Chain A
Amino acid sequence: MRYIIGIGNYSMADDSIGLRLIETIADRGMNTDFEAIDLSDNGLNLFNYLSESTEKMLWVDCVKMGKRPGEFTVFSPELTESQKVLTQMTTHEGDMLKILTMARQAGYPIPPIRILGIEPEKLEPVFELSPILQSRFEEYLGEAIRQIRSTDW
């Protein structure tokens, strides 16, 4: 099985980009040859999709990586180091890269993973994407579909 996984908080502006992309894929019925998963803020649920039968995974998330807002890149998690500091005050926060490291250490089968990372403009309590991310939404969607159907990885 191939998965596109959206991660984020729907009510925190650009943090929701992955969830909105998953929603659009489902609304348009584009998930004919892969599954589109809304993981929301339940990062630990990633473990449900780590199995021998998982062919590959594309995560869609907003990523602070020093680019201009709205720019995106596709990368492998192995190429990065997490800079995120968790408060440890609540189960409502998360860091997918740390969860992936935990999965590796715990011996879970790790499929090929790529991240479609989109640089956010706004991370604040607003129920819509920033204008720049809205204007480029179809580009992100096209790239996600291209990546999941690619035979290059």
Chain B
Amino acid sequence: MAKDININVHHVTRVEGHGNILVNVSKGTIEKIEWQVPEAPRFFEAMIRGRHYSEVARIVSRICGICSVGHTLASVKASEDALGIQISEQSFKLRSLLKHAENYDSHIVHVLFLAAPDLLGAPSVFPLVPTHGEVVKCALRLKRFGHEWGSIIGGRTTHPTRVVPGGFTDVPTEQELRTLRKRITDEMLPDLNTALEVLLSLAGKFPKFERQTEYMALHSDKEYGLYDGVIQTVMPDGTKEKYKVSDYRKCTNEYVDRRSTAKWAKNKMGSYMAGALARVNNNFDQLHPEAKKVAGLLGMKPLCFNPYLNSVAQVVEVVHSVHEGLRLIDELLAAGIKREPLVKPTRFGSGTGAVEVPRGILYHHYSYDKDGMCTGGDCIIPTNENHANIQHDFEKLVPELLKADKSEKEMELALEMLVRAYDPCISCSTHYLDVKFTR
């Protein structure tokens, strides 16, 4: 039907504007489809110049309060690469355990508090409290557990204090790890099973949409890549290619697009996707058997080309992280947890670190002078890596929605849900209160 559509989702609630969705259709002809990101640059790379290597992670952690563990880990890995530091096996396992805690925590919030209301036909989680009280309480307990898990390992979950170049300034006690393990099995797993039952009942409600793209994630021969590995991409035909982490610029190829003040990225295709779906598509075989079982129940198998199912991939990863967390705790306890001295630098140069944060593969790169002072930095953030992919999703989705004769409101919801599936890290979100005094 030749109709007019004008969608302009512009978020006036914040100062600089979130990602904006713009669609203009005139008499059935598409005139404009745009995913705009008018986010102001924040110059973190400039801010760390002249800082000692011991200070850098603490500064860049502030790039994002939600992904602060990931930024801290990518930062210390880059510094350690530049300074010739090899951390101990215990530090490696503790950091992996902390990475699992962050991904678990963030995925729980995204799936249960942001994506699930869409599937239940609610505008947000808040109206669900009176109607789905027990489920919301279960979700809150799961969220709370993620915070406690991260705090036990990292000192605190938001901007962790214990993770520094060379290792950990302090480590959890054996008793803390034993208590954490018991609480995972006795308290968290039953709640997780309840949440999974709810999600299974909603699985059929995810929009049906597919677009073939390239998927990029960390890959390790030893385990499902999260804390460590090389860069790997998988193409729509299933072919995979690996890149050294130090070659990250060769596969991210950042560029500027007029629709965005944030940089976009691409590799072999016009865009690639980073995040849980990219990880599952790259590393499905290395998921924990329990996670694979849940993937099967939710109908997810690689290669999955539906970006809406990024949320389903996050559910699969939650299960993976919980079971891998138990394995890591057991190994740490078996080896005997102990405080270790920080490993000292053996050289000063340039280095790169990459980790998988909830929204995808994150790169940090630094250079240091002979005194250990930072002379340059580069950070490539997964949300920016995904912008071009969102734009290309829009360009395929809008014509399909028009062909299906969807209303303007239905199209707007479909586009918003798509953006939500990526859970973009809007770094300039503000948290001020806006109040009217009633008494």
A residues sitting closer than 8 Å to B (CB atoms) are 7-12, 14-15, 38-45, 47-48, 61-65, 75, 78-98, 101-102, 105-107, 115, 117, 120, 123-125, 127
Contacts and interface: CB of A to CB of B under 8 A. Distances in A.
Given A86-B124, A102-B125, A106-B133, A8 B432 contact: yes
B140 interface: yes
Given A86-B124, A91-B109, A123 B432 contact: yes
A35 B437 CA distance: 28
A59 B271 CA distance: 43
B15 A40 contact: no
A81 B147 CA distance: 28
B427 A92 contact: yes
Interface string B125-146: 1100110010011001001100
Given A65-B435, A82-B435, 12 more contacts: A40-B158, A44-B109, A47-B144, A63-B432, A65-B437, A80-B436, A87-B13, A89-B420, A97-B433, A120-B432, A123-B14, A127-B47
Contacts of A43: 431
A61 B434 CA distance: 10
Contacts of A42: 65-66, 147, 157-158
B284 to A, nearest CB: 25
A102 B437 CA distance: 20
A101 to B, nearest CB: 7
Contact of B136 (A38, A65, A106): A106
A7 B270 CA distance: 39
Contacts of B428: 9, 11-12, 125
Counting chain B residues whose Cβ lies within 8 A of the other chain, the interface size class is: 35 or more
B42 A91 contact: no
19 contacts: A8-B431, A9-B428, A11-B428, A15-B431, A40-B159, A42-B66, A42-B158, A47-B143, A61-B431, A75-B437, A81-B436, A88-B123, A90-B420, A92-B427, A93-B431, A94-B431, A97-B433, A125-B40, A125-B41
A25 to B, nearest CB: 15
Nearest to B44: A11
B426 interface: yes
A3 to B, nearest CB: 14
A107 B109 contact: no
Contacts of B137: 106-107
B429 A90 contact: yes
A67 B130 CA distance: 35
A87 B11 contact: yes
B425 A92 contact: yes
Interface of B: 11, 13-16, 18-19, 39-42, 47, 62-66, 68, 106, 109-110, 113-114, 117, 123-126, 129-130, 133, 136-137, 140, 143-144, 147-148, 156-159, 416, 419-420, 423-439
B416 A88 contact: yes
A40 B431 CA distance: 9
Contacts of B19: 89
Given A91-B106, A105-B133, A124-B15, A83 B435 contact: yes
A128 B58 CA distance: 16
A41 B62 CA distance: 11
Nearest to A82: B435
B274 to A, nearest CB: 16
Considering the complex of A and B, which 10 residue pairs feature the smallest CB-CB distances, nearest first?
Answer: A40-B65, A41-B65, A80-B435, A105-B129, A125-B40, A84-B434, A92-B429, A93-B429, A83-B434, A15-B430
Nearest to A17: B432
A36 B426 CA distance: 26
Contacts of B425: 90, 92
Contacts of A87: 11, 13-14, 18
Nearest to B107: A91
Contacts of B63: 11
Given A42-B65, A62-B432, A88 B144 contact: no
A66 B389 CA distance: 41
B364 to A, nearest CB: 17
Contacts of A79: 437-439
B107 to A, nearest CB: 10
B196 to A, nearest CB: 20
A85 B9 CA distance: 13
B158 A12 contact: no
